[in-house]
Amino acid sequence: MLHVEALWALNSWVDFCIIWMAGRLLNQPPRWRRFLFVTSLSTVCQVVIMLLHLPHVYELLFLLFFTPVMAAVSFRLNGMAHVFRACLIVWGCSTLAGGLMYAAERVLNQSLTVFISHQSISQFIVLSLILIAAMISMNKVVASLQMNRIQESFTYKVEIEVNGQAWSGFGFLDSGNHVIDPFTKSPVVFADLKVASELLPDFIAHSLTGNQFVNWPESWQKKVRLIPARTVHSSSQMMTGILCDRVACSVNGKEFSLTNVPVVFTNQSLLFEEKCNCLLNPLQLLPCHQI
């Protein structure tokens, strides 16, 4: 006996998981009301195929060609290229879910719990656990890819020069860094002690905290800038910056170069991305600061 309501609930649940994973990869939320209509229509067509006792190949072909309809209705797609991409993603998610279910079925059939696979409720629970695991895994993968994309998008090559010494590496553009030198109005760059050790003399690099700069040679004392700043950990503080001769960063093949830029070297964790050793200031990229 065919239970249409059970078939509809199963199809809706499986399609929901697949469309949700596809939505994460397409970076847009599905239109769930339209999805519900399409998955219900799919169930009706599947029931008709079963009642007419058509070969399973017709059901397979129907599901294959019905995917573009579900993708086009469930998502906001512009152009055939976008539709084709969405179809590939939906097919890929379906293949992932199907492969996981097939693997679970093989494991169940070869284990002592084979009798569980013959119970419809147990099958539904196993299917749900597989789909939830696939959704969680997909969410983590997409989140990781998005974070890598953000890091790559805001990571630039940087070169800092002072007194004839130069350091080259990578910097992360920090949208929250709007610290400026109150006297020169120049944007301030933050760098870690690794940069200081390669760029500054040892006696300077090891005495950047406090007011130890009073013992520096006069030529270096002239490069000191006291930068007032407020952080989430303190109401206000004075940071010691070194006036560097030049700071340049390359953005999409275009070089932004500033002269006489204060660089604050700190041993505090600034949440750098692994390959980055400095935090850039968005003001560096404004034309009014280019010299």
Separation between Cα atoms, residue 87 and residue 70, nearest integer Å: 9
pLDDT band at 162 (very low <50, low <70, confident <90, very high): very high
Q: Residues 250, 157: contact at Cβ < 8 Å?
A: yes
- Select from 110, 66, 111, 114 the least CA-distant residue to 90: 66
Of 49-53, 95-99, 191-195, 232-236, the poorest mean pLDDT is in: 232-236
Q: Residues 192, 265: contact at Cβ < 8 Å?
A: yes
Kindly report the pTM of this predicted structure.
Answer: 0.49
The pLDDT > 70 percentage for the chain reads: 81
Query: What are the DSSP E strand ranges found in the chain?
Result: 155-162, 165-173, 189-192, 224-229, 237-251, 254-266, 278-280
Separation between Cα atoms, residue 18 and residue 88, nearest integer Å: 12
Q: Give pLDDT tens digits for 24-76.
A: 888 788 888 888 888 888 888 878 877 887 787 777 777 777 777 888 888 88
Q: Which residues contact 96 (CB under 8 A, 6 or more apart)?
A: 21, 134, 138
